[in-house]
Chain A
Amino acid sequence: MDSKLTIRKKIALELYRKFRKNARALHQLDYIFWECTLRCNLDCIHCGSDCKKESMVKDMPVADFIKAIDDIKSIVNPNKTMIVFTGGEPLVRNDLEVCGRQLYKRGFPWGIVSNGLHLTQTRLQSLLQAGLRAVTISLDGMGNSHNWLRRNPNSFEQAVHAISLLSKIPDLKYDVVSCINQKNFDELDAIKELLLSKGVTDWRMFTVFPIGRARDHKELQLSPVQFKQLFDYIAKERKKGDIKLSYGCEGYLGNYEGEVRDNLFFCRAGISIASVLIDGSISACPNLRENFIEGNIYADSFKDVWQKKYRKHRDRNWLKTGDCADCDSFKYCEGNGLHLRNEKGELLFCHLHRIQEGEKQELN
Chain B
Amino acid sequence: MKRQILKKYNRLISLLLSLLGIGGTFTFISCDGTGQVEYGTPSATFKIFGKVTSEDGDQIPYIKVKAAMHNYDSSYTNEAGEYTLVLGSFPSDQDFYMEYSDVDGPSNGLYQTKDSTVSFVNPQFENGDGSWYSGEASKKVDIQLKEDN
Contact = CB atoms under 8 A, between A and B. Distances in A.
A22 B22 contact: no
A327 interface: no
A85 to B, nearest CB: 11
Interface size bracket, B side: 35 or more
Nearest to B14: A19
A279 B12 CA distance: 41
Given A109-B41, A263-B27, A28 B34 contact: yes
* Most chain A CB within a 10 A radius of its CB, from B7, B16, B20, B90: B90
A262 B24 contact: yes
B32 A258 contact: no
* Most chain A CB within a 10 A radius of its CB, from B10, B27, B38, B40: B38
B36 A77 contact: no
A272 interface: yes
Interface string B22-53: 11100110011111111111110000000000
Main secondary structure of the interface of A (DSSP, over half): mixed
Interface in B43-89: 43, 70-71, 88-89
Interface in B88-126: 88-92
A246 to B, nearest CB: 9
A30 B39 contact: no
A257 B132 CA distance: 21
B103 to A, nearest CB: 23
B141 interface: no
A249 B10 contact: no
Given A30-B32, A201-B130, A272 B37 contact: yes
* Most chain B CB within a 10 A radius of its CB, from A16, A19, A25, A272: A19
* Most chain A CB within a 10 A radius of its CB, from B21, B22, B24, B39: B39
A23 B34 contact: yes
A26 interface: yes
Nearest to B72: A77
Nearest to B44: A79
A340 interface: no
Given A80-B31, A264-B17, 13 more contacts: A15-B17, A19-B13, A22-B6, A22-B13, A26-B7, A79-B90, A82-B37, A82-B42, A136-B39, A173-B131, A249-B38, A257-B22, A263-B27
